[in-house]
């Protein structure tokens, strides 16, 4: 089941809309440990204030570090420990973000990055 876009502001804190899976990608790494970092992008099925995007980032079940989001006032921090893991995460985000375009919410198509 796809996650719903969650809206949070000073006056709103709620699930906003259903999503479809738009992009999936993985980047392997090997150093003192090995594994891969994965991303899946979910796009809202609605537009305007009910539109939105979710970027899910996961690690595999290896002994490597996994991505971690920390809530801070006004947003989040994305943490990734380990040199190899961090490099893979940056490569993954670069690929995922560059594949999105201004009309991402209108396409309704799925793609997979190599």
Residues in the chain: 114
pLDDT of residue 27: 97
What pLDDT is stored for residue 10 in this prediction?
A: 83
Residue extents of the structural domains in the chain:
5-100
- In the chain, the percentage of residues whose pLDDT exceeds 90 is 68
Among 82, 75, 41, which residue's Cα sits nearest to residue 58?
Answer: 41
At residue 25 the predicted structure's pLDDT band, cuts being 50, 70 and 90, is very high
Handedness of CA 11, 17, 22, 26 (dihedral sign): positive
pLDDT of residue 61: 75
Mean pLDDT of 29-55: 93
Say if pTM beats, i.e. exceeds, 0.75. yes
Going by C-alpha positions, the residue among 96, 93, 86, 90 that lies closest to residue 33 is 86
């Amino acid at each position: 089941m796809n996650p719903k876009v969650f809206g949070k502001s000073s006056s709103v804190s709620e699930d906003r809309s259903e999503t479809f899976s738009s992009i999936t990608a993985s980047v392997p790494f090997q150093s003192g440990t090995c594994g891969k970092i994965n991303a899946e992008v979910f796009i809202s099925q609605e537009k305007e204030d009910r539109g939105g995007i979710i970027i899910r980032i996961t690690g595999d079940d290896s002994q490597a570090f996994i991505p971690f989001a920390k809530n801070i006032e006004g947003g989040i921090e994305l943490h990734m420990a380990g040199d190899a893991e961090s490099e893979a995460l940056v490569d993954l985000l670069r690929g995922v973000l560059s594949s999105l375009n201004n009309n991402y919410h209108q396409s309704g198509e799925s793609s997979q990055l190599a």
